[in-house]
A and B are shown apart, each in its own frame.
Chain A
Amino acid sequence: MSRIEIDEERCKGCLLCTTVCPKAMLRGSSRVNPTGYKVVEVIPDLAGQCTGCAACAQMCPDVAIVVWRSPKRKEAA
């Protein structure tokens, strides 16, 4: 299962990533980082849906997202 890491110190809470995630698994949080921005977070219940498409990372102006892609495991029939 693929995943992303959000660097909360770089995030400026612009939420542009939330507009491009095909699984709609990103949202603004209420956590404020040291610079004063409300950072974005992965919705915990949807984290497993990440496909590693990296759309969020490409859309992020602050290069705040690292994307790890894992090969899909075929579900047992």
Chain B
Amino acid sequence: MSETMAFTRPRSLADRVTHYCPGCQHGIGQRLVAECLDEMNLTDNTIAVTSIGCSVFLYDYLLVDSVEAPHGRAPAVATGVKRARPENFVFTYQGDGDLASIGMAEIMHAANRGERISVVFVNNTIYGMTGGQMAPTTLVGQKTTTCPSGRCSATEGMPFRMAEIMAGLGGVAYSTRVALNNVKHINQAKKAVRRAFEVQLKNQGLGFVELLATCPTNWKMNPLEANERIAKELIPYFPLGVFKDVKEGGQC
């Protein structure tokens, strides 16, 4: 009987247990990034810009040159990295507080300038690392530690749909939203990450992937319930799809 290994850890993913909670899908997100880097032969040429949130230790899991950015500033730091070394492959990996709250100016302008970077945005509608506060993407009615009666649009506004906002900016070559709640979506997500990496290699503009993911601990759910919430509550408000793809075109 000859058997082949049909699935194993990608080589750029460190062989260590992660600090993430059970059922947290950062583990899937970072694995997809590692797989794409390896399969596209980018690993040795990559400079990652890590952010602040539960993924702050990304540099311990992805074995690539990394610089740690202050909270929200990763797109600006990545702009500096890429402008200084345009021949390197540069990406950021950010959560919803980092990218859509404190970092909103930096992502809008990096995207508008069409910086040749790839942005992986993990949206779990809550602040994980700091213990479950409201995020810019928290859903109306969702209870968090800083909106204990549930987000109210009159006082807290509506959740941001970042993939759509990114798609509206001239410098963005690719913007999509995918989810990690089942294998079909995970496969789509991997293709999305690939495409976001590709538009950088083809010098077309900024590539943006929004990944809908769980935060079981702060949603106060077990991992299975949390995973179901993605389909039940997140996808209806944050639709999946490709919102912009310049295909063959791009920036001057």
CB pair A61–B25 under 8 Å, yes or no, is yes
8 Å CB interface, A23-77 against B: 35, 37, 52, 54-55, 57-63, 65-71
A70 to B91, CA, bound (A): 37
A30 to B117, CA, bound (A): 46
8 Å CB interface, A12-30 against B: 12-16, 19-20
A12 to B25, CA, bound (A): 12
8 Å CB interface, B24-40 against A: 24-28, 31
Q: For A52, what are the chain B residues with a Cβ–Cβ distance below 8 Å?
A: 6
CB pair B7–A65 under 8 Å, yes or no, is yes
A14 to B186, CA, bound (A): 17
CB pair A70–B3 under 8 Å, yes or no, is yes
Chain B interface residue bracket vs A: 20 to 34
CB pair A16–B224 under 8 Å, yes or no, is yes
Known A54-B7, A63-B27, A65-B7; judge A14-B22 contact (CB<8 A): yes
CB pair B5–A14 under 8 Å, yes or no, is no
Point out which of B13, B23, B183 has the most chain A C-beta atoms below 10 A from its C-beta: B183
CB pair B227–A62 under 8 Å, yes or no, is no
Which A-chain residue is minimally distant from B213 (CB atoms)? A61
Check B182 for interface membership: any CB of A closer than 8 A: yes
Residues 1-28 of chain B, each 1 if its beta carbon lies under 8 Å from chain A, else 0: 1111111110001000110111111111
A62 to B24, CA, bound (A): 9
Check B223 for interface membership: any CB of A closer than 8 A: yes
How many Å from the CB of B58 to the closest CB on chain A? 14
Q: Which of B6, B20, B24, B227 contacts A67 (CB 8 A)?
A: B6
CB pair B186–A70 under 8 Å, yes or no, is no
Q: Which of A12, A15, A16, A68 contacts B5 (CB 8 A)?
A: A68
How many Å from the CB of B183 to the closest CB on chain A? 5
Known A9-B17, A62-B17, A66-B7; judge A19-B224 contact (CB<8 A): yes
CB pair B23–A14 under 8 Å, yes or no, is yes
A31 to B236, CA, bound (A): 38
Known A12-B22, A69-B3, A71-B2; judge A62-B183 contact (CB<8 A): no
Give residues in A with beta carbon < 8 Å to B: 1-3, 9-10, 12-16, 19-20, 35, 37, 52, 54-55, 57-63, 65-71
CB-defined A-B contacts under 8 Å, sample of 17 = A9-B17, A14-B22, A14-B223, A16-B223, A16-B224, A20-B183, A58-B187, A59-B186, A61-B18, A61-B25, A61-B26, A62-B18, A63-B13, A66-B7, A66-B8, A69-B3, A70-B2
Q: List the 9 closest A-B pairs by CB distance, nearest first.
A: A61-B27, A12-B22, A14-B23, A69-B6, A14-B223, A67-B7, A57-B7, A14-B22, A54-B7
